[in-house]
Structure 1
């Protein structure tokens, strides 16, 4: 059962069983409306309209009930959309992010642009420190979240989520001794 089928049925019932008018209101052709109603009847296993030939003659009590229920469904959907809009638009408050200098400089600017667009009413405050200090800021509730690159010791009070894999590389000219072969610390030390 699809919402469009219910809406088409309701429109047909509310327009004196005029399928052409219902099709116009939904920017469809008449055959598409008839097909959707036939599919709904098939799915429910009952006729929703009494017919004389191909013309609809009367809406059954079930069709009238579905039309009324569709009003309630549409109202519920409107309420959900309105609530979602309010929820999205009214995100307010302050978010304090504790981070290392490297993260503040390279990673967070990319992420924060999108966050600020999505939640313009949230004020963001940053605190910087070494990884151990970030953990302390969280424990003391000075920060809401922390972002760092180092693996931290397991902490029963904190939850860690990996955001991305960080990779480092060494860049050398093509004629450098380290340009060929596997790179090891021993080769770098020579």
Structure 2
């Protein structure tokens, strides 16, 4: 039995789509369909119900999927034990991240990763949390670092340290030692897109304090927010780690405030892969790099 065909079937079922599985394995859709057809011919049963456009498995297909997982896991185990997986080969990863992660530790980690893995190939997507979670579900990403975990069958997520959020102003314009929420409400406030955790947290903070917040601008880009603050447009809510990096070249200043913004949660999500431990290993490497002790790592 050709295990490449078994792997093709595993990803078709996991992603519930022939086309998405083909993208995952970097082959054409017709080649993917041919592999499934060849596997069905060898087994003597139909694995996929092709009577309409909805994705369905046959009874035999459901039974064989369990066997496929075991076969691929056994192949990985044998390669590991016999040394077949030790040869150096290029590692290609499709990583997605929210901008807060990009502007804090992600670039430094990529540089660190590249030093130990010179053949490392990166496909990086920077998007909002809803988009990243959807792409993980569709198999368009291998790993996503987002404000929410991806939840679903054969999906795994791990919490990363939450990011401290701060109010940020222009270093030369905002000179007060300490700001009240009422002071901030007098100007323009910038935060992330409507409905995001930072946006909701900002509204809740002012509402709970009984301070009217007349105007909030929703900006999906940290770079755009930074430029607006730099040009005196207003005060932004940003991760402290990103501000510390950006303030080396832009006149930004974290503002001390009477009330603290809630931290921004971050989760690493990835899909189980019986053929490879690369995604799980990368998440472990990220947790080590950002200083999460092994006994504090929770897997969902």
| TM-score normalised by L of structure 2 | 0.29
Where relative contact order (Cα < 8 A, 6+ residues apart) is larger, the structure is: 2
Structure whose alpha-carbon radius of gyration is higher? 1
More strand as a share of residues: 2
Q: Which has the higher helix share?
A: 1
